[in-house]
A and B are shown apart, each in its own frame.
Chain A
Amino acid sequence: MIVEYIQSALLLIAAFLVIVSAVGFLSLPKDMKNVVYARIHIIGIFDIACIIAMIGLGQYLLAVIYLILAPFTAHAIANAFYKSEDVVNNVELNVVEEDEDNPNPFIVNKSKVQELENEDSEKLKTDERFTISTLDINEEE
């Protein structure tokens, strides 16, 4: 009888935590700073609620396994977000490679073409059908 009360109390606590985390998960404003990390933090509450529910259901091994696995998931998602999408905190994502302004793509600087000729490119060696030739054009002529 006492065990049933303890089990039901654990399940009710888990249900309360799950509903609180669901409300918090959706009610965060979208334009808040670092909102994804805040959501990951809220999911931590949901994870603990799941562990409490598993203990209340008598599945202790599953609870231990999930207790070990849940932080790895949260850190992996936060790491992926930081490396790929977090333009606020990650400075590397704000660096934009500027394209050179080249109004006419058919006229290339002579020194660049000579650099290309001097390169021992394997592609040029294997494919001898294509050659690069330079032509000097003076503006006076």
Chain B
Amino acid sequence: MDILIISKYILIIAFIIMMFAALRASAYKGTSMGLLGSSVVVVAFAVALLVFGQMYNLTFYRDISLALIFFGFVGTVAFSIVAGGDK
């Protein structure tokens, strides 16, 4: 097996572990921890989608991943502004 494919599989496993860790952390006390965990889950899923797309030659994977990263950022910043109040 090619070393590049093995490293891609290892990276996907690492991202799955990170997604579970972020899901667990998003259940901690406080709104900010939920926000942090959900943003990490979104980014981990987007990068894992990039790896999957390259492995199986999926079309539009790059666009979906770009949309996830960009709109995840917009949602995180918007919710933090709402949570932070207007002081």
Contact = CB atoms under 8 A, between A and B. Distances in A.
| Prevailing SS type, chain B contact patch | helix
A46 B77 contact: no
A80 B81 contact: yes
A21 B18 contact: yes
Given A12-B10, A80-B32, A92-B87, A53 B40 contact: no
Contacts of A66: 43, 69
B77 A76 contact: yes
| Prevailing SS type, chain A contact patch | helix
A77 B32 contact: yes
Nearest to B54: A57
What is the interface residue range for chain B against chain A? 35 or more
Contact of A69 (B2, B70, B84): B70
A46 B70 contact: no
Contact of A43 (B15, B36, B81, B84): B36
A15 B7 contact: yes
B58 interface: no
B11 A18 contact: yes
Interface in B8-49: 8, 10-11, 13-15, 17-18, 20-22, 24-25, 28-33, 35-36, 39-40, 43-44, 47
A30 B40 CA distance: 19
Contacts of A12: 7, 10-11
Given A4-B3, A26-B21, A54-B50, A84 B73 contact: no
